[in-house]
Structure 1
């Protein structure tokens, strides 16, 4: 909002907007303002059309080469070749477009946060009005259950409690008042405002509309999201670089092939088809489909671990994460208030400690049961509670210590009550039992203590009150991040009237949103995996730091924390230093969360961001991987995220990172397996032109090899189980090459072996009198069975393939069997022979194919063994040096 309405009095706000608290706006004036300012709807950029998404899939470097090759085949009247090439292009584009279409608009989800109807004061009458027709200056009535339709300045309130967690990140509802506040107070502390999209839990209010549509805090977040571009994942960035490099290499090789062929006097049409064959052979056509399917398999595995992936590239991005920016409430904590500390009679207790009859502990718990508006229910021995989260938390604490809540309320019926008031900061109830009437009080420690003259000792007897000591106990608990409530009582037949007291202090109950039990172990695994964890929350700094210390969040001592107010004054350099060393960022605004994520990314970090509220959405969208809460998260947060935690548990993020690393390993295995074939197919065409012989394989045979082997052989690698010690190695460097030099060397070795074996077999067949069709059929089969033998070596990029387990991949052997059956049909079936220009092979030819394929596997296996041996010697040498 442009104006600092919280700093003005209610009357100043009404005067500035030309409104009246008792009459509201006139209908004509409201219509004029609606025409001027527009409807109360949050809007954003129009979504991209499906056709635009489809066309964008074609703007890839390698796709350009395929389209050009298909056009050239059409020009040369090679209809079948052209149809197959364009078919591959179409399938890849459709897969990509469908994948992107799954992401829904977060702006639309924001718009759904605004309710449809509300109660508006117009022409002195309270009317039901469509929320879209609200204008600045309207006066509204709110009550429990309402969703706030616009940003409001409160004019009058009665026990108003609003859940603002989705906007501010506060774990507790906000208690509202009407008094003006300091202009510099944080968004979460603006008690005299109500914000669009938040929910009224209790009480009633009269309020003035001060901002609508995109001018609200909700609209401000929508604008941040609109301006935030969706980032590419580390994998997509690596693939983009790899595609550009391949584009240059393929074009250079194709041009060189054409020039060499023409220089040798070969016909132009023949050389153009050779160029098409080279381009088609060198391009890994099956890579996009294999990538999508491998990621989809990862999605299924993660879903079984309660991590729901909304965007496929997020699967791999998880494996690259270097920093997790996590919210506190609901992610690191259980998202429920619970009593964890009890102080009675000068002693400290825990819920579950025995409360003997007449003891101070029992009287303290009894006060929490009676001075309480929460409703308990017990069905089949299972308790459930409804009401204010703070009051709800008091009842399980009493039950844990052996008190019968229902029986105590029946034995001490309530006859009167003084509800909580923000200015008074305490509530009271008048209950009677056989001994007479008792006034039970609950409220802020400093306000309750101010009216106390004595306290109960541990044995239940009255004792002198040491005001400073008792206030010190409450202060220590509050400094640790607990919400502290003081309880007192006095005998009497009436509620306090005027000056309250004197009361007898019963003690304190300290509440918190407790950390999840699995979180400390999950944080330890993150440290082991080299992943840093930073807490970013809208909650109070003391609360955030208390939780952070209990779960051992920090990598060092003491814990370093920074508030949103301190963050606001940092320049770019200071912010960069802060994000490297600060563990907890508390009381932060939505734009500050976004700024923190951007600062981390500027330092080369791959950032995962968790959140559940509307205020988290811009940062969730900006992060390399946005993670929303499935149970407690808003629709807006889910729509802006790439992943949703079905169980809202931080430990699930760690499991998903492990799965993401396994997916990346399998993608690398697939690329190491498939690229030698593309390298060999392109090179064998170039060599054939260079030495002036017939092409050993045709473009159509190349497409057959590439697509059939990818589907039946290569995709089996997507089902490889994760290798051991995935979480004992550091994250991949964000700028690390997609394929490191060791793997590139292996790709070149395997490709060279394929070229040598296929070229040798092709010329051997011709030399023994076989036809050109038979020689090409033998070469094509050698490519396929050579890939099959190499596939086994790719199951592990470092060790022997059988160590991965003979039967650990249930798709491997069926895929190899199916590929063998297809190659038999490719070689002998008349329809396949007519389509692909193949002929039947003799047993001796098949023996040559088998020997060549086996040789490829043995040589690559020997190369891995040599590297392992060299690594072991290097490791032992380093150990000896240290010794």
Structure 2
């Protein structure tokens, strides 16, 4: 509440004389008490701790148990393969997490290294880390503010606070102002200066009221530091799936032993069988396959200018239904631009990019005065100084009235600098045989000091009618959220003192400027809305300006859909959350408000994306389901707190990223359902054979080979499927939606049953072919090995062929295109060749307990393997016909 106290009260509270400052002894004592003026970060995790944290997963626990068991039964190759899967998954997770947690480090880097202070009555420069509460800090143009200050002296002081407040225009400071409203927003605290903001104009002095973590930027660091990352929907689904499969594997083992006791089988043989079933129940490669699919998705997204820092964020994008976007620099271009100019009875739209424009004589005088009455520069696309003045220089360039040429011809000989009370700035320049005063500022003040007007090249008396014309145009521009500047001049034959410049002027006209929307954003917002995604604008700007931009972009329809930070404070958390869906624009908000908004949307069950570029966006980027930072204009803090960075700062890239995220989730779902269908087929094969008191048709090594090698290749290929082009015509996926929604579970069960049954049929046929009837006596090892080979080939080949059907739950493979996913076709060919290699090469055949098949049996097993694919395609055909009817 320092902004509500007078400078004298602040001096008294900190025990400091502003003319002398602190003594070195007092400063040293306070430094020991308050600590260094630097932001603190939470302790870093070691690489080992990060690695171990990746292993806290039910599916990983089961895989580790399987590794121990395979070592015990001396299946070392299988154990090594499982371990490699676990390590690969953990390493990918460590790399992503290590890169992600950079937000507080970036905040620390933002503090300025040197600051000017007054100590012992002397002005000196010290390290900003040594600044303490009570220090007297001196500010001038181009210098960062080292701590939070209560200003007690200011002269034309302007501070760039856009990174903290979202304001696109520097804030004018007034040290003499006393603010009494306790709910005053940061952007309106004109008697304060805040750490890590930039002084752009004028000078000032202030007393340090907060350092380090107690500053406004320090509060942001605390918010970031206290945050615990929530799991993404994909992580939650996989955790649930891992637990389910883990308990299923344990249950299967127990059930097998119960059956073994009833059937009076050999317990060691049943132990090996139980392992086979446990292995069959768990898709060992699932964690690695999902990581690989996400990593490939990240690579694809980088090609569309979206850098993903955390792999699960790719999937999260696909379920986003709220995009909370910062206005300045994200939806707008973050540069003031003159869009309208007015001289009497002549209102002109100023084109955005055109050059060599032709102006009327009155417009020439208007533009000439604006350019000469400016201190900014603009060369080679780069500007320095106040953004408003830069906009005026650019306006002159468009009409070939350049700053360099005008200043060379009309040398400045005097000035009356801008003052927040006068809201005017004047310069005195050489003109023909004399001098001319050029004045710009608030139109009301321009009209008060003008007695004449320039109308069609003639100077005429300023009548009430003329005044009303200027005020009417001003009101129209203001209603369109334009910032209005009036312009006037007067000729003189002598050099005038500053106090004599702003009297009896001739008004020329006025200009309207705005931070314009990005050209491509409107179409992107329309596309997002068509995809069931609601765009929300969150900004530190004023309500009218924000709503005007929101209307133009199609985000909001009326001002009733907007609310300010002060109005949010008047509502309870419950009331705010209940009404959150009524708003599309949130104006004049603080960082705490942004977090509150994101949380309110999330409380309604939404998946929220927050885009932004400033320090003020960092907490909400962190708390959102997915934070998206701007790569070009974004601060390091925003990039560090985000899940994704846009390298082109283009809102359109977010929409493309959401489309990619939706397709990636669908692809992961295809992979998971495919793997579960395959593993269910294995479970049915083993379990039915035990219930029927048959020999086990598959060995544990054969199942592991299929799970980790053969069916992993098509699972990865499904993960990089081209995807559905109509995915953005669908509503966002419900984050609570199961992997098995929309009939996916039924398809997995049908596929698993078909694969399991025909694997058993092949096994039975193999024994029958060698003259054995099941249950009729001892079976020779050779016959059993041959029958197992047939079931081994059918199980592998049926899974490979079935993957083709998994590409779409509704469209046939003919409609999709059999060869449209070349990776999948390649995976099927490689899988069949691998089976052929295992069976054909004697050492491998012995290791896997298989025999080479006759040509007739090869044709037979391939025929069996095609049946699950054919049946599933027929089901699709009938389902589609029923939907049409």
**TM-score bin, normalised by smaller chain:** over 0.9
| CA pair 218-773 structure 1, distance change in 2 beyond 3 A | same
CA distance in 1, matches of 2:131, 2:747: 67
CA distance in 1, matches of 2:815, 2:155: 71
- 1:212-246 deviations in Å (ceiling 9; x for gaps): 11100011111112222212222222223333333
2:167 to 167, 170, 194: 170
Larger deviation, residues 513-522 vs 155-164? 155-164
CA distance in 2, matches of 1:856, 1:357: 76
- 1:685-704 deviations in Å (ceiling 9; x for gaps): 22222222322112222121
2:777 is matched with none
Deviation at 1:373, TM superposition (A): 1.3
Aligned-partner SS, 1:289: helix
2:842 is matched with 830
Residues 324 and 607 of structure 1 are in contact (CA less than 8 Å); yes or no, is this contact kept in structure 2? yes
1:309 is matched with 308
1:735 is matched with 736
Deviation at 1:468, TM superposition (A): 4.4
Residues 321 and 531 of structure 1 are in contact (CA less than 8 Å); yes or no, is this contact kept in structure 2? yes
Deviation at 1:330, TM superposition (A): 1.1
Matching of residue 849 in structure 1 with residue 861 in structure 2: yes
2:64 is matched with 67
Residues 393 and 402 of structure 2 are in contact (CA less than 8 Å); yes or no, is this contact kept in structure 1? no
Deviation at 1:629, TM superposition (A): 0.9
2:794 is matched with 782
| CA pair 460-738 structure 1, distance change in 2 beyond 3 A | farther
- 1:499-528 deviations in Å (ceiling 9; x for gaps): 631111111111111011212211111121
Deviation at 1:259, TM superposition (A): 1.3
Deviation at 1:306, TM superposition (A): 1.6
Aligned-partner SS, 2:419: coil
Larger deviation, residues 707-716 vs 329-338? 707-716
- 1:672-720 deviations in Å (ceiling 9; x for gaps): 2221111112222222222223221122221211111344222112222
| CA pair 92-337 structure 1, distance change in 2 beyond 3 A | same
- 1:441-484 deviations in Å (ceiling 9; x for gaps): 01122222221112222444424243344234323423432211
Deviation at 1:435, TM superposition (A): 4.6
TM-score (norm 2): 0.94
Residues 248 and 281 of structure 2 are in contact (CA less than 8 Å); yes or no, is this contact kept in structure 1? no
Count of paired positions: 865
Runs of 4+ more than 6 Å apart: 353-358
2:443 is matched with 445
Larger deviation, residues 360-369 vs 560-569? 360-369
2:831 is matched with 819
1:236 is matched with 235
CA distance in 1, matches of 2:226, 2:525: 33
Residues 450 and 507 of structure 2 are in contact (CA less than 8 Å); yes or no, is this contact kept in structure 1? yes
CA distance in 1, matches of 2:10, 2:754: 81
Larger deviation, residues 25-34 vs 260-269? 260-269
| CA pair 450-790 structure 1, distance change in 2 beyond 3 A | same
1:407 to 391, 405, 408: 405
1:513 is matched with 515
Larger deviation, residues 89-98 vs 479-488? 89-98
- 1:579-624 deviations in Å (ceiling 9; x for gaps): 1111111001111110111111111011011111111111111111
Larger deviation, residues 15-24 vs 155-164? 155-164
Aligned-partner SS, 2:627: strand
Deviation at 1:563, TM superposition (A): 0.5
1:650 is matched with 651
1:365 to 358, 364, 367: 367
Larger deviation, residues 615-624 vs 663-672? 663-672
CA distance in 1, matches of 2:638, 2:787: 60
CA distance in 1, matches of 2:194, 2:766: 80
Aligned-partner SS, 2:175: coil
Gaps of 5+ in 1: 874-883
Aligned-partner SS, 1:329: helix
2:489 is matched with 489
Deviation at 1:145, TM superposition (A): 2.5
Deviation at 1:841, TM superposition (A): 2.3
- 1:568-588 deviations in Å (ceiling 9; x for gaps): 011133212331111111001
CA distance in 2, matches of 1:604, 1:127: 55
CA distance in 1, matches of 2:244, 2:452: 81
Deviation at 1:405, TM superposition (A): 4.5
- 1:387-418 deviations in Å (ceiling 9; x for gaps): 32111111222333454554333322222222
Deviation at 1:279, TM superposition (A): 1.3
CA distance in 1, matches of 2:755, 2:329: 55
- 1:782-832 deviations in Å (ceiling 9; x for gaps): 122111111111222211113223443232333223222222221122342
1:876 is matched with none
CA distance in 1, matches of 2:123, 2:406: 43
Structure 1 segment 463-862 matched on structure 2, within 5 A: 463-466=461-464, 467-492=467-492, 493-498=494-499, 500-554=502-556, 556-557=557-558, 559-769=560-770, 770-862=782-874
CA distance in 2, matches of 1:853, 1:95: 35
- 1:310-362 deviations in Å (ceiling 9; x for gaps): 11111111110111111111111111110011121143111259987773222
1:878 is matched with none
CA distance in 2, matches of 1:39, 1:268: 69
1:183 to 175, 180, 184: 180
Residues 459 and 506 of structure 2 are in contact (CA less than 8 Å); yes or no, is this contact kept in structure 1? no
CA distance in 2, matches of 1:358, 1:665: 60
CA distance in 1, matches of 2:538, 2:236: 27
1:278 is matched with 277
CA distance in 2, matches of 1:357, 1:128: 50
CA distance in 1, matches of 2:788, 2:458: 99
2:153 is matched with 156
Deviation at 1:559, TM superposition (A): 4.9
Deviation at 1:168, TM superposition (A): 0.6
Residues 81 and 700 of structure 1 are in contact (CA less than 8 Å); yes or no, is this contact kept in structure 2? yes
| CA pair 394-479 structure 1, distance change in 2 beyond 3 A | same
CA distance in 2, matches of 1:838, 1:197: 71
Residues 345 and 361 of structure 1 are in contact (CA less than 8 Å); yes or no, is this contact kept in structure 2? no
CA distance in 1, matches of 2:196, 2:214: 13
| CA pair 454-571 structure 1, distance change in 2 beyond 3 A | same
- 1:735-775 deviations in Å (ceiling 9; x for gaps): 22122151111111111111111111122212323533332
Aligned-partner SS, 1:854: helix
Aligned-partner SS, 1:808: coil
Deviation at 1:75, TM superposition (A): 4.2
| CA pair 800-447 structure 1, distance change in 2 beyond 3 A | same
CA distance in 2, matches of 1:30, 1:755: 80
* Aligned Cα root-mean-square deviation (Å): 2.1
Residues 377 and 384 of structure 1 are in contact (CA less than 8 Å); yes or no, is this contact kept in structure 2? yes
Residues 426 and 440 of structure 2 are in contact (CA less than 8 Å); yes or no, is this contact kept in structure 1? yes
1:104 to 101, 104, 109: 101
| CA pair 346-13 structure 1, distance change in 2 beyond 3 A | farther
Larger deviation, residues 524-533 vs 48-57? 48-57
CA distance in 2, matches of 1:809, 1:269: 45
Aligned-partner SS, 2:222: helix
CA distance in 2, matches of 1:238, 1:460: 76
CA distance in 2, matches of 1:683, 1:99: 38
1:52 is matched with 49
2:773 is matched with none
Residues 685 and 760 of structure 2 are in contact (CA less than 8 Å); yes or no, is this contact kept in structure 1? yes
CA distance in 1, matches of 2:260, 2:359: 103
1:246 is matched with 245
2:391 is matched with 393
CA distance in 2, matches of 1:207, 1:700: 76
Residues 295 and 312 of structure 1 are in contact (CA less than 8 Å); yes or no, is this contact kept in structure 2? yes
Deviation at 1:548, TM superposition (A): 0.9
